């Protein structure tokens, strides 16, 4: 046997003892032969990649056909080995798996192309779900070795991973893959946020580990006394999930991290409920935090009992109680089908999606992909559907319908039938009339009233509150067909309104050529289609205006505007010379000099002077965005140089980026005061992803002191980046 395959075979023997090792070795030999002259970006032989992908899949316990397809997945695309040869050598099943993975890799550029890739994935998945499992393992190994790619490629792949692949892994219940994909992509996209969370986690780890050990010992002791065989262990904390919880629950890091997580693994379902009773006998449960996913499994086959109790020292402890088989399925999801087939669904060929099975969600995706002509819209629906949890409601006849959390009777109507949705005029929930925008809860019985009028149709307002991708697609489709003219007028009006709001020249920007060029750029066949897209809400009017302005070279900025935005830093009553600003104009020491507010230059920066009309010389940094416009009038540029005196004062603007928490702003302002800087202005914005961005403008006498200021601010807990910015006003 080839010694290179020994680690792979060791894993296969442990997870899938009946696998055909000779077949796997033959697949490896064929792949190694055809990839023999190829290298990866890291310089390693190319065969290391398919081998690593096969090893990841072997750890999941997949079957030998999947492992062979993983070893061969790049041969058809990257080598002279044809699909027909592969079919002859390994049979139809392995060939169709390789073909499915190859198709997913074909389209790789741009947003619409990415959506198209995802569509192909959906079609491939619907035929055999193992195609997606290979693709997820392929993406995981690529993410592990991502550091060898150029930066823009790394960011593109990481964003795709966070938005598409990690949620798909979650939908398929493959949590081990999901967590690693998320952490790798998080570290690549937001390295500073990742490092800050890692730092905060490591600082608190020793204290937390002691508490965790105490809880585990008490739970283990209680279960032993109750004669329940169990494995009790702490749940690992994944950095991205810590960050996500900070965003979702809108709480500080300490509140999330102090929540201890314990996992209890037992032998049978009966033991799960017995263990729950034992734990509740010791500690009081937190009301509303108990979830029984054993009786009501999640969409991705996940089963477990979840409870939160008030543990030692009054601290909350989260517990998950499940059987070993449930745990395997929670970790490996759909891939665990092969190991625990008798427990999951009805018999059938491996990988095939059976209607009515736990994977019926894939069927729904396939329906969308037939309905939705615009790939971007399909991708938006998919992203939305991947990111939400579900509620289960009943039709009057008792049929269960799954809808996204927060869904309304309109979502329910469209889930029943498109025509029911279009003609919906009212709803009754649990026997009571309710508004159409009411949120539905688990177990609600919903009855829809429809209109018999031939002109009945959806309302545009429904788009503001519907939650399901299906309802949104159907409503938009209806307006696309029935209301195109209205949409064109609405779009034209919206663009005009956005321009007037900004005081932009309507005639010049709304000219036929500029709009037609923009429509083509955005992949619309003509200007009417662009107007209609704005009217229907596919494209924001503000977006169109920004792109139009950019296409004609930006808004014309007069020098006077620039002069007005510059800020004199000299004190009142000072002579008109440049001494107060610390700048001297070549050839004339008695010129009023002002440091521009748009880039706040300080000694050490390269600077240029611009003679304004009636406002002296405005001084800009050499890399200021406005300098390009000023260079169009070279006769008004003058040479300037630094000459700071003891009474010179300079404006500095800095930006602080931090993970949001209580008292963050007061800590930053106190640190700045401790550094003896005079704060003139401060602004703070907090984004939905728990990042607080603060901008401070302050006066400094000695710019060399700036390095100490930045270092002091960087040491504040939660701050992951601080730097000087080129605009005092932000």
At residue 646, the 3 state secondary structure works out as coil
Residue 453's Cβ-side half-sphere holds a number of Cα atoms within 13 Å equal to: 10
Residue with tokens 């946020």: 193
**Residue 378: pLDDT above 80?**
no
Cβ within 8 Å of residue 264, ≥6 positions away:
219, 223, 230, 231, 232, 275, 279, 319, 320, 321, 322
pLDDT of residue 617: 85
Strands of 267-423 (E only): list them: 291-292, 305-310, 316-323, 390-394, 400-404
Q: Is residue 346 part of a domain?
A: no
User: Of these residues, 25, 77, 195, 214, which one is catalytic?
Assistant: 77
At residue 340, the 3 state secondary structure works out as coil
Same domain, 103 and 7: yes
- The helix (run of H) or strand (run of E) holding residue 223 is helix 191-225
pLDDT of residue 265: 92
Q: Which of 290, 314, 332 is the last residue of a domain?
A: 332
**Residue 474: pLDDT above 60?**
yes
Q: Is residue 214 part of a domain?
A: yes
Cα separation, 486 vs 132, whole angstroms: 42
User: Of these residues, 20, 25, 78, 343, which one is catalytic?
Assistant: 78
Tokens of 66: 């999947």
Q: Minimum mean pLDDT among 36-45, 165-174, 657-666: which range?
A: 165-174
Cα separation, 189 vs 156, whole angstroms: 9
What are 700's strand-pairing partners?
650
Same domain, 300 and 204: yes
In angstroms, what is the C-alpha Rg of the chain?
Answer: 31
Strands of 596-674 (E only): list them: 607-611, 617-621, 637-638, 640-642, 650-659
pLDDT of residue 250: 66
For 34-51, the pLDDT digits (tens) are: 888 888 887 888 888 888
Cα separation, 462 vs 471, whole angstroms: 9
78 is an active site residue = yes
pLDDT of residue 347: 39
Contact 233/260 with Cβ under 8 angstroms? no
CA nearest neighbour of 242 among 226, 265, 259, 224: 259
Cα separation, 559 vs 611, whole angstroms: 9
Cα separation, 285 vs 292, whole angstroms: 14
Q: Is residue 577 part of a domain?
A: no
Residue with tokens 């937390």: 208
- Phi, psi at residue 588, to the nearest 5°? -155, 105
pLDDT of residue 408: 92
Q: Is residue 73 part of a domain?
A: yes
Q: Which of 132, 147, 174 is the last residue of a domain?
A: 174
For 440-466, the pLDDT digits (tens) are: 887 788 999 988 887 788 888 888 888
pLDDT range class, residue 361, cuts 50, 70, 90: low
Give the CATH number, domain containing residue 710: 3.30.70.260
Tokens of 345: 């669904």
Cα separation, 467 vs 453, whole angstroms: 26
Q: Is residue 678 part of a domain?
A: yes
Contact 86/71 with Cβ under 8 angstroms? no
- The helix (run of H) or strand (run of E) holding residue 226 is none
Cα separation, 476 vs 604, whole angstroms: 56
Cα separation, 9 vs 597, whole angstroms: 66
pLDDT of residue 220: 92
Contact 303/297 with Cβ under 8 angstroms? yes
pLDDT of residue 641: 83
Residue 388 neighbours by CB distance under 10 Å: 16
Q: Is residue 527 part of a domain?
A: yes
CA nearest neighbour of 653 among 631, 615, 624: 624
Same domain, 229 and 111: no
CA nearest neighbour of 166 among 148, 198, 189: 189
For 571-606, the pLDDT digits (tens) are: 333 334 444 567 777 766 667 788 887 777 888 788
Same domain, 527 and 663: no
Domain that holds residue 304: 192-332
CA nearest neighbour of 433 among 453, 410, 449, 415: 449
CA nearest neighbour of 289 among 268, 263, 257, 320: 320
**Residue 510: pLDDT above 80?**
no
Mean pLDDT of 691-711: 82
Give the CATH number, domain containing residue 135: 1.10.3210.10
Q: Which of 332, 360, 391 is the last residue of a domain?
A: 332
pLDDT of residue 322: 92
Contact 617/640 with Cβ under 8 angstroms? yes
CA nearest neighbour of 130 among 60, 182, 180: 60
CA nearest neighbour of 633 among 615, 616, 607, 609: 609
User: CA quadruple 238, 241, 245, 247: dihedral positive or negative?
Assistant: positive
Residue with tokens 């300490």: 254
Helix, strand, coil % over all residues of the chain, rounded to 5: 50, 15, 35
For β-strands 617-621 and 593-595, DSSP reports them as: parallel
pLDDT of residue 321: 93
At residue 433, the 3 state secondary structure works out as strand
Cα separation, 596 vs 489, whole angstroms: 43
pLDDT of residue 273: 93
CA nearest neighbour of 37 among 95, 79, 6: 79
Same domain, 38 and 166: yes
Same domain, 207 and 297: yes
Strands across the sheet with 678-686, in order? 678-686, 691-700, 650-659, 719-724
Is 341 or 143 the better-scoring residue by pLDDT? 143
| For the chain, percent of residues with pLDDT exceeding 90 | 6
Tokens of 441: 């809860």
Return the HEC string of 460-471. HHHHHCCCCHHH
Cα separation, 186 vs 166, whole angstroms: 11
User: CA quadruple 24, 25, 31, 35: dihedral positive or negative?
Assistant: positive
What are 637's strand-pairing partners?
610
| For the chain, percent of residues with pLDDT exceeding 70 | 78
Q: Please report how the helices 191-225 and 239-249 are oriented relative to each other, as an axis angle in degrees rounded to 10.
A: 90
Is 475 or 356 the better-scoring residue by pLDDT? 475
pLDDT of residue 270: 93
Cα separation, 123 vs 353, whole angstroms: 12
Number of compact structural domains in the chain: 4
Same domain, 492 and 518: yes
User: CA quadruple 263, 266, 270, 276: dihedral positive or negative?
Assistant: negative
Is 538 or 232 the better-scoring residue by pLDDT? 232
Same domain, 149 and 22: yes
Cα separation, 551 vs 125, whole angstroms: 41
Question: Is residue 298 classed exposed, middle or buried when 0-12, 13-18 and 19+ CB atoms within 10 A define those classes?
Answer: middle
pLDDT range class, residue 556, cuts 50, 70, 90: very low
Q: Minimum mean pLDDT among 249-263, 371-385, 454-468, 629-643: which range?
A: 371-385
CA nearest neighbour of 306 among 318, 296, 297: 318
Is 21 or 173 the better-scoring residue by pLDDT? 21
Residue 707 neighbours by CB distance under 10 Å: 9
Same domain, 204 and 128: no
Tokens of 238: 């994944």
User: CA quadruple 386, 388, 389, 395: dihedral positive or negative?
Assistant: negative
For 64-112, the pLDDT digits (tens) are: 888 898 888 888 888 888 888 888 888 888 888 888 777 665 544 345 5
Q: Is residue 645 part of a domain?
A: no
Residue 226's Cβ-side half-sphere holds a number of Cα atoms within 13 Å equal to: 23
pLDDT range class, residue 2, cuts 50, 70, 90: confident
Same domain, 15 and 163: yes
pLDDT of residue 555: 52
Strands across the sheet with 446-450, in order? 432-434, 424-429, 446-450
At residue 656, the 3 state secondary structure works out as strand
Q: Is residue 143 part of a domain?
A: yes
pLDDT of residue 571: 34
Same domain, 33 and 167: yes
CA nearest neighbour of 160 among 150, 170, 168, 148: 168
User: CA quadruple 78, 79, 84, 88: dihedral positive or negative?
Assistant: negative
Same domain, 213 and 102: no
513 is an active site residue = no
Mean pLDDT of 507-523: 71
Give the CATH number, domain containing residue 304: 3.30.460.10
């Amino acid at each position: 046997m080839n010694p290179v395959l020994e680690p792979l075979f060791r894993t296969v023997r442990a997870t899938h003892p009946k696998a055909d090792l000779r077949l796997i070795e033959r697949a490896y030999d064929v792949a190694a032969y055809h990839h023999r002259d190829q290298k990866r970006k890291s310089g390693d032989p190319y065969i290391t990649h398919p081998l690593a992908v096969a090893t990841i899949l072997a750890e999941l316990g997949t079957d030998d056909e999947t492992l062979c397809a993983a070893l061969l997945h790049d041969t058809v695309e990257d080598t002279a080995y044809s699909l027909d040869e592969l079919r002859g050598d390994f049979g139809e099943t392995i060939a169709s798996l390789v073909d499915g993975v190859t198709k997913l890799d074909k389209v790789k550029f741009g947003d619409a192309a990415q959506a198209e890739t995802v569509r192909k994935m959906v079609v491939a998945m619907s035929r055999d779900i193992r195609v997606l499992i290979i693709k997820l393992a392929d993406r995981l190994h690529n993410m592990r070795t991502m550091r060898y790619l150029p930066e823009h490629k790394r960011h593109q792949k990481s964003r795709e991973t966070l938005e598409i692949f990690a949620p798909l892994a979650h939908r398929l219940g493959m949590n081990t893959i999901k967590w690693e994909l998320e952490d790798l992509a998080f570290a690549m996209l937001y390295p500073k946020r990742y490092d800050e969370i890692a730092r905060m986690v490591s600082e608190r780890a020793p204290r937390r580990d002691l508490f965790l050990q105490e809880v585990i010992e008490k739970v283990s002791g209680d279960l032993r006394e109750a004669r329940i065989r169990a494995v009790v262990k702490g749940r690992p904390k994944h950095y991205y999930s810590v960050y996500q919880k900070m965003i979702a629950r809108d709480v500080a890091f300490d509140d999330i991290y102090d929540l201890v997580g314990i996992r209890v693994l037992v032998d049978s379902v009966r033991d799960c409920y017995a263990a729950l009773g034992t734990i509740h006998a010791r500690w009081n449960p937190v009301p509303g935090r108990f979830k029984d996913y054993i009786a009501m499994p999640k969409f991705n086959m996940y089963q477990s009992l979840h409870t939160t109790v008030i543990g030692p020292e009054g601290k909350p402890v989260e517990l998950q109680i499940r059987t070993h088989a449930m745990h395997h399925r929670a970790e490996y999801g759909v891939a665990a089908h092969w190991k625990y087939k008798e427990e999951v669904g009805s018999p059938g060929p491996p990988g095939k999606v059976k209607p009515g099975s736990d994977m019926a969600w894939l069927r729904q995706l396939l329906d969308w992909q037939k309905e939705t002509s615009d790939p971007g819209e399909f991708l938006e629906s998919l992203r939305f559907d991947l990111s939400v949890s579900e509620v289960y409601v009943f039709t009057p006849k008792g049929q269960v319908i799954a809808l996204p959390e927060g869904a309304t009777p309109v979502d329910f109507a469209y889930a029943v039938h498109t025509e029911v949705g279009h003609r919906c005029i009212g709803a009754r929930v649990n026997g009571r009339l309710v508004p159409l925008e009411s949120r539905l809860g688990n177990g609600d019985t919903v009855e829809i009233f429809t209109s018999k009028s031939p002109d009945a149709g959806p309302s545009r307002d429904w788009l503001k509150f519907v939650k399901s991708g299906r309802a949104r697609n159907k409503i938009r489709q209806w307006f696309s067909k029935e209301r195109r003219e209205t949409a064109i007028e609405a779009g034209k009006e919206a663009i005009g309104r956005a321009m007037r709001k900004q005081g932009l020249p309507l005639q010049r920007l709304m000219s036929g050529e500029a709009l037609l060029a923009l429509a083509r750029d955005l992949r619309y066949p003509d200007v009417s289609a662009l107007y209609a897209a704005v009217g229907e809400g596919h494209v924001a009017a503000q977006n169109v205006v920004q792109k139009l302005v950019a296409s004609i070279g930006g808004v014309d900025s007069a020098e006077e505007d620039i002069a007005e935005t510059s800020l004199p830093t000299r004190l009142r009553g000072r002579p008109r010379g440049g001494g107060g600003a610390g700048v001297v104009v070549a050839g004339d020491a008695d010129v009023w000099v002002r440091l521009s507010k748009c880039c706040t230059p300080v000694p050490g920066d390269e600077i240029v002077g611009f003679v304004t009309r009636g406002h002296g010389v405005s001084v800009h940094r050499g890399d200021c965005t406005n300098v390009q416009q000023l260079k169009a009038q070279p006769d008004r540029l003058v040479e300037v140089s630094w000459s700071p005196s003891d009474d010179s004062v300079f404006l500095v603007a800095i930006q602080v980026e931090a993970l949001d928490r209580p008292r963050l702003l007061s800590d930053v302002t106190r640190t700045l005061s401790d550094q003896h800087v005079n704060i003139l202005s401060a602004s703070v914005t907090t984004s939905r992803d728990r990042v607080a961005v603060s901008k401070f403008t302050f006066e400094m006498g000695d710019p060399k002191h700036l390095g100490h200021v930045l270092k002091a601010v960087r040491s504040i807990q939660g701050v992951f980046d601080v730097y000087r910015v080129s605009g005092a006003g932000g």
